[in-house]
């Protein structure tokens, strides 16, 4: 028999999840109601409106996938792609690579635009790809690469993609509610995100939005969507429409938590939230650099909320990370892929984006005799 | 701006979710830890062992899909099926139909064994199908049809399927932890369930188990699994193995809740829990029948925990259901498909399976002047 659940009181400063607000945790413990209860339908409607507000979109096809961000990624791709479609996928880290993998599983012909991890894709890179694949069904980009801390400019590439008649798909998992993101202004056709980053809700859901043009592509499909669970032609009647049709059972408690986290974001205001992430980043950056850390990404393309940094020479990153966790209860992330063992990913996202978080981490590093400055 | 979350204090006696135990709700409000934190890895290991115990299986490939039961269904099918595979799907309600739909999306050639809703598939039905499709890759059955309240016997059909060299796949969403279910004894090769029925945890996760033979079929695939998110060859390194490999971000809070609900099941004991569901069902049945309700399913194939019943003549089921919800806070389920507007589905599952629940419902019906006995 197992004992009661006990966990250490962690300070979450990795690539996510981030610390959840006590109000969000409290909302999760609300007793269940039925997923087709009129009260729950109202909650879904409220969540939908708040997701539209935080995506800055009027897209009616805005909803929440009942699974984590990776399933949101797959939702966009399986609904928009059919076997034989040509697509351009920009790859500058783990998540671009994952999009390419999924697109291939949809039977699409994938043209990859690959640039070095830690850099971003330039409009010129996309132009070159459009010279080869002149009429892509879609072009996919990662707005905020969680594996490298790079912030991808969108607007100029969006224009190129639309001029070529393609749809623009964006991964906003680590940018949503922490960094400027304007779905309608930037003409994004399909976007997905997660809940466990700047939103500071528990992981497990993926807000998604489709433009009218993306919906048209869905309506014009010749083949069925390969996933039943993620098929938007079915899900859309569950998340909207005059008459709700049962599709699957929504994760009631997780939706409660999402609703509360969205309320907190809108109380603060999106622009204030973006500003807070920038300001706290400046303080963190100054302190980390004074300790000898060096940023992976060039200044102008740096994510404020996910700081990918090389440790000062002569440090054992795995040992330090373990000690931070065990002695100080502070979690920071390690590197992925080629950067495994070389960088840390320090997240200051949502509720984890405070001066106290910065000071806790920096003070702990100062304390640790194993850390070489 | 939206107000604080407020919900009515519902009594959940529909087809799920059922009432959650306060201990489960409390576990959900535990602060987050990282999904790769050694403490979370331990929690995943504990959950895996408890899922093995409750499925009564030693299958090493036992894990939890980070999405609701429908995604568990899709996990089994996309991993086991490849284009061109021949399969037999038994359909006696909504969920058998859903399995057939997904199998077709996998490119399989589907042979349906269709019987009337409210009845079960007989070994003779399966034999006939095996005369046409002699070597199916798999045969799929719904153990407990949530849409009709029918309990499908498994053992004899399992022998037929294995003699024909096929794999047996079972939907146990509404039977798991409420009705006798023995994965190893019954030689089930792939099984999935949900958390929001007899387990009384919030909806959102799907425990799944694969036999070694099912794993062999997975290893012998010629094509990639069409879903990245549900690809077991990737997920298995996240839910087990010597070295945990990041796949997606697990829904930390939902796993907390699942752990606590499994603890509660094992404290009660599986057999005691099966017995409780049977005993409370007998009381409910007697009282409903004395009020003029009539069961849809023949006695020997009746689910104890999901009671599909015709209302006494002259009742407006939708009106009564609405009044039950609004005046008494009691949720019961309506019918699906051909039974919409004709039957109720009264769930007594997990924490909702008590004599008090039965009495609340029956007393409310006695009270309501609109109810015609």
* Interface mutation target, options B38, B106, B171, B204, chain A, most CBs of A under 10 Å: B204
Copy the structure tokens of residue A106: 């949809």
> Which residues are B87's β-sheet partners?
B110, B138
With vertex at residue A120, the alpha carbon angle to CA A119 and CA A123, rounded to the nearest 5 degrees, is 140
Q: Is A345 annotated as a binding residue?
A: yes
Note the helical H segments in B291-354.
Answer: 317-328
Question: Please, what CATH class does the domain formed by B22-266 belong to?
Answer: alpha beta
- Determine the pLDDT at residue B13: 98
What average pLDDT does the segment B6-10 reach? Answer: 97
Of B125, B144, B137, B198, which is closest to residue B162 (Cα–Cα)? B137
Residue A24's Cβ-side half-sphere holds a number of Cα atoms within 13 Å equal to 26
- Closest approach of chain A CAs to the CA of B269, in angstroms? 11
A242 in B contact zone (CB under 8 Å) = no
Of B31, B37, B43, which is closest to A20 when you measure between CB atoms? Answer: B31
pLDDT exceeds cutoff 80 at B301:
yes
Give the 3-state secondary structure of residue A89: strand
Are B33 and A252 inside 8 Å of each other by CB? no
Is residue B183 classed as helix, strand or coil in its secondary structure? Answer: coil
Please check whether residue A322 touches B, CB under 8 A. Answer: no
Quote the pLDDT of residue A240: 82
Residue among A10, A32, A263 minimizing CB distance to B33: A10
- The CATH number assigned to the domain with range A23-266 reads 3.40.640.10
For position A1, what pLDDT does the model report?
A: 79
Return the number of other C-beta atoms located less than 10 Å from residue B131's C-beta: 8
Strands (E), A109-173: 109-114, 138-142, 144-145, 150-151, 167-171
Question: What pLDDT score was predicted for residue B243?
Answer: 77
Angle at Cα A231 formed by Cα A230 and Cα A233, nearest 5°?
145
Cα separation, A235 vs A79, whole angstroms: 11
Cis peptide before A297 (omega within 30 of 0): no
Mean pLDDT of B31-55: 97
Residue of A14, A29, A35 with shortest CB distance to B28: A29
The arithmetic mean of pLDDT across residues B87-104, rounded, is 98
| CA–CA gap between residue A63 and residue A192 (Å, rounded) | 10
Q: What SS3 state is found at B216?
A: helix
pLDDT at B248 over 90: yes
CB atoms A228 and B27 under 8 Å: no
Distance between CA atoms of residues A122 and A128, nearest Å: 10
3-class DSSP assignment, residue A235: helix
Which residues in chain B touch residue A260, judged by CB atoms under 8 angstroms apart? 5
Domain boundaries, chain B: 11-16+270-367, 22-266
For B:116-155, CB contacts with A below 8 A are none
- Among A3, A7, A324, A344, which would you mutate to test the B interface (most chain B Cβ atoms within 10 Å of its Cβ)? A7
Domain A11-16+270-367 has CATH 3.90.1150.10: yes
Closest CA to A201 of A256, A269, A147: A256
Both tokens assigned to A357: 């978080």
Residue of B nearest to A43 (CA): B5
Cβ–Cβ gap B105/A225 under 8 Å:
yes
**pLDDT at position A373, please?**
86
Among B68, B82, B142, B207, CA closest to A235:
B68
Residue pair B214/B236 in contact by the 8 Å Cβ criterion: no
Query: Which one of A6, A12, A20, A29 makes the best mutation probe of the B interface by having the most chain B beta carbons within 10 Å?
Result: A29
Among the listed residues B32, B47, B14, B9, the one whose alpha carbon sits nearest the alpha carbon of residue B261: B47
Domains A11-16+270-367 and A23-266 share a fold: no
Between positions 33 and 62 of A, the ones with CB within 8 A of B are 33-35, 37-39, 43, 46, 50
Each of the 373 residues of chain A gets a pLDDT tens digit; together they read 799 999 999 999 999 999 999 999 999 999 999 999 999 999 999 999 999 999 999 999 999 999 999 999 999 999 999 999 999 999 999 999 999 999 999 999 999 999 999 999 999 999 999 999 999 999 999 999 999 999 999 999 999 999 999 999 999 999 999 999 999 999 999 999 999 999 999 999 999 999 999 999 999 999 999 999 999 999 998 998 777 888 999 999 999 999 999 999 999 999 999 999 999 999 999 999 999 999 999 999 999 999 999 999 999 999 999 999 999 999 999 999 989 999 999 999 999 999 999 999 999 999 999 999 8
pLDDT digits (tens, 9 = 90+) for B99-154: 999 999 999 999 999 999 999 999 999 999 999 999 999 999 999 999 999 999 99
């Amino acid at each position: 028999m197992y004992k009661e659940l006990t966990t250490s009181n962690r300070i979450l400063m990795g690539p996510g999840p981030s610390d959840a607000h006590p109000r969000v945790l409290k909302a999760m413990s609300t007793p269940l109601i039925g997923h087709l209860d009129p009260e729950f339908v109202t909650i879904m409607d409220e969540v939908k409106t708040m997701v539209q507000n935080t995506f800055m979109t009027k897209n009616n096809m805005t909803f929440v996938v009942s699974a984590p961000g990776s399933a949101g990624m797959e939702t966009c791709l399986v609904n928009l792609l059919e076997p034989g479609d040509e697509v351009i996928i920009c790859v500058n880290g783990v998540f671009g690579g994952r999009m390419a993998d999924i697109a291939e599983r949809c039977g699409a012909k994938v043209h990859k635009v690959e640039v070095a991890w830690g850099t971003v894709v330039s409009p010129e890179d996309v132009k070159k790809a459009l010279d080869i694949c002149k009429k892509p069904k879609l072009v996919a980009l990662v707005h905020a690469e969680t594996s490298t801390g790079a912030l991808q400019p969108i607007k100029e590439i969006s224009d190129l993609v639309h001029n070529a008649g393609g749809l623009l798909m964006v991964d906003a998992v680590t940018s949503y509610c922490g960094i400027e993101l304007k779905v309608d202004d930037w003409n994004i056709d399909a976007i997905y995100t997660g809940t466990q980053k700047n939103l500071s809700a528990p992981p497990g859901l993926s807000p998604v939005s489709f433009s009218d043009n993306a919906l048209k592509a869905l309506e014009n499909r010749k083949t069925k969507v390969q996933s039943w669970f993620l098929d938007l032609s079915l899900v859309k009647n569950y998340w909207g429409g005059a008459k709700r049709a049962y599709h699957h059972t929504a994760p009631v408690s997780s939706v409660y938590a999402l609703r509360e986290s969205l309320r907190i974001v809108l109380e603060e205001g999106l622009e204030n939230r973006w500003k807070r992430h920038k300001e706290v980043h400046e303080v963190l950056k100054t302190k980390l650099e004074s300790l000898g850390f060096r940023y992976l990404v060039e200044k102008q393309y740096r994510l404020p909320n996910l700081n990918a940094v090389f440790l000062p020479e002569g440090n054992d990153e795995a040992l330090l990370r373990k000690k931070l966790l065990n002695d100080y209860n502070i979690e920071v992330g390690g590197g992925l892929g080629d950067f495994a063992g070389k960088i840390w990913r320090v997240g200051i996202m949502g509720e984890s984006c405070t001066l106290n978080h910065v000071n806790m981490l920096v003070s702990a590093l100062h304390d640790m005799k194993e850390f070489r400055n």
